[in-house]
Structure 1
Amino acid sequence: MNISYLLIGGNEGDRMAALAAARANIEAAAGSIRTCSSLYETEPWGKTDQADFLNQALCLETVADAPSLMNILLGIEEKMGRKRMEKYGSRIIDIDILFFNDAIIHQPGLIIPHAEVQNRRFALAPLEEIAPDYIHPVLGVSVRELLLTCTDPLAVKKINA
């Protein structure tokens, strides 16, 4: 069994419903969600002239290998109406693999750990809630330490849902 940490998010339409649908689709197609973070409202990263995002970290238990999981998640995004038109643009759903076991993978279309996780407060804050002691396999420091030293100035706010 493999353990993967995912980040789901979106900023179009009914964001809560989209995250709920993403969780249901992930469980139906990819494995068992062991735990979920709270929901976090976050300022957009990379392209600021758009609505705020709703993000959530998940711990997924899966029999899929990393490339297969990536294909499953891309299929879920497509099924949910994700259109890849603009980097960092608005989207109904985004599903990222942050970590997969302690794997280090560099393949076309698949980089694990996620190349920017240590620079993104919107990913680290929800991840720290569910896996504070997970050690980044490349950087050798915990998620908690990554969050404490993250210089990303964008607002990240835990919300009650």
Structure 2
Amino acid sequence: MQLVLLSLGSSIGDRKKNIDNALYLLELVGVKQQRQSSYYETEPVGGVANNKFLNIAFLAQTNFTPKELLFICKSIEFSLGRRVAKTWADREIDIDILLYEDEIIETSFLQIPHPSFHNRRFALEPAVEIASNMVHPKFKKKLDHLLKECQDKNEVKKLLNIKI
């Protein structure tokens, strides 16, 4: 089984329910949870979205190839109401593959590690909570080190009370 690190986010509707439904569907198809971060409320990036996002990181094991996992993530997004939208727009659910073992994949439709992961506090903070010692295969740095270097100053607030 391969170790994968995913980021899930939602900014439309019942954000927690959207994420929880995505987690359920990932488990159902064989993406087996190892650890899940706390929920974080984050400022939208890019100036397009109007709503705050709810984000988590999800460490899992799977037998799916990276391409198969991408297809599964996109299928789950679609099944939960996501349609093609502008980059950085509000969305029901967003599932990104941040890391897949120590693989580096660069194709027209799949980039692993996620190309912006190391610059996004909303992805790094939840990831560091559950996988601080994982190493980014391109930069050869642990995730907690990348978080310390991150220049993103957008607010990322860990939620202790999940009644949102």
SS in 1 for 2:96: strand
> What is the identity percentage for the equivalent residue pairs of Structure 1 and Structure 2?
37
**Following TM superposition, by how much is the alpha carbon of 1:103 offset from its aligned partner in structure 2, in angstroms?**
0.2
**Following TM superposition, by how much is the alpha carbon of 1:48 offset from its aligned partner in structure 2, in angstroms?**
5.1
Mapped partners of 2:57, 2:145: distance in 1:
17
1:83 correspondence with 2:52:
no
Mapped partners of 1:38, 1:85: distance in 2:
27
Instruction: Give a deviation string over 1:81-111, Cα, whole Å, max 9, x none.
Output: 1012211100000000000000000112100
Q: Residue 136 of structure 2 corresponds to which residue in structure 1? A: 136
Mapped partners of 2:91, 2:77: distance in 1:
10
Segment drifting more, 149-158 vs 25-34: 25-34
Q: Residue 28 of structure 1 corresponds to which residue in structure 2? A: 28
The normalised TM-score by structure 2 is 0.96
Equivalent runs, 1:67-78 vs 2, <5 Å: 67-78=67-78
Letter in 2 for 1:17: K
Letter in 1 for 2:2: N
Mapped partners of 2:22, 2:83: distance in 1:
15
| Contact 1:30/1:72, CA 8 A, preserved across alignment | no
Question: Can you give the 5+ residue segments of structure 2 that lack an aligned partner in the other structure?
Answer: none
Structure 1 residue runs of 4 or more that deviate by more than 3 Å after TM superposition: none
Mapped partners of 2:6, 2:49: distance in 1:
25
Aligned residue pairs total 161
Mapped partners of 2:113, 2:17: distance in 1:
28
Q: Residue 14 of structure 2 corresponds to which residue in structure 1? A: 14
Question: Can you give the 5+ residue segments of structure 1 that lack an aligned partner in the other structure?
Answer: none
1:157 correspondence with 2:151:
no
SS in 2 for 1:108: coil
Flag the 1:24–1:153 CA change in 2: closer, same or farther, 3 A.
same
Q: Residue 92 of structure 1 corresponds to which residue in structure 2? A: 92
SS in 2 for 1:129: helix
The normalised TM-score by structure 1 is 0.97
SS in 2 for 1:154: coil
* Superposed CA RMSD: 0.9
